[in-house]
Amino acid sequence: MSEVVKVGIIICDRYSSCAGGKCFRSLASREGAFERYEGKEVELVGYTTCGGCPGGNVEYAPAEMKKNGAEVIHLATGLVVGYPPCPRLFDFVEFIPEKYGMEVVIGTHPIPEKYYTTHMNLGTWDSLKWQEAIKGVLPGVKIRKDYD
């Protein structure tokens, strides 16, 4: 039997009505940040919002996900592509492993082309820190367009 990796997803509260279609699609097809699980079975054990700024749910949601077996928390691509990107994203990346000992991955589905174009024109992701943060969800043009 293949290794089962249990993951949780935290999305930005501005997208609280999101049904998760792009995240679930990319998980099933192992695209974007889920490419890292190629050849592994993945079980989604939690899906919730950050709770809205300043992200109060991030203080508690990982605990429930961990009780359900989550080893990795994915901070959804919406936290990166929304405008402005989540101002607390990097705080979450530091907090969750410190508090819960869980790995954190920035992103879920590939960045859609329409968001990529806007943020590139604005220079949002020009810094080395942002370049590192988005590398797991920055595919080629064809896949970006497929996620528009």
Domain 4-146, CATH number (from 3.30.1490, 1.10.530, 3.40.50, 3.30.450): 3.40.50
pTM: 0.95
pLDDT recorded at residue 36: 97
pLDDT recorded at residue 3: 80
Mean pLDDT across the chain, nearest whole number?
A: 96
pLDDT recorded at residue 1: 43
Listed by start position, the domains of the chain span: 4-146
119: left (phi over 0), alpha (psi -120 to 50) or beta: alpha
Residues 6+ apart with CB under 8 A from 118: 83
Q: Which residues of the chain have pLDDT under 50?
A: 1
21: left (phi over 0), alpha (psi -120 to 50) or beta: alpha
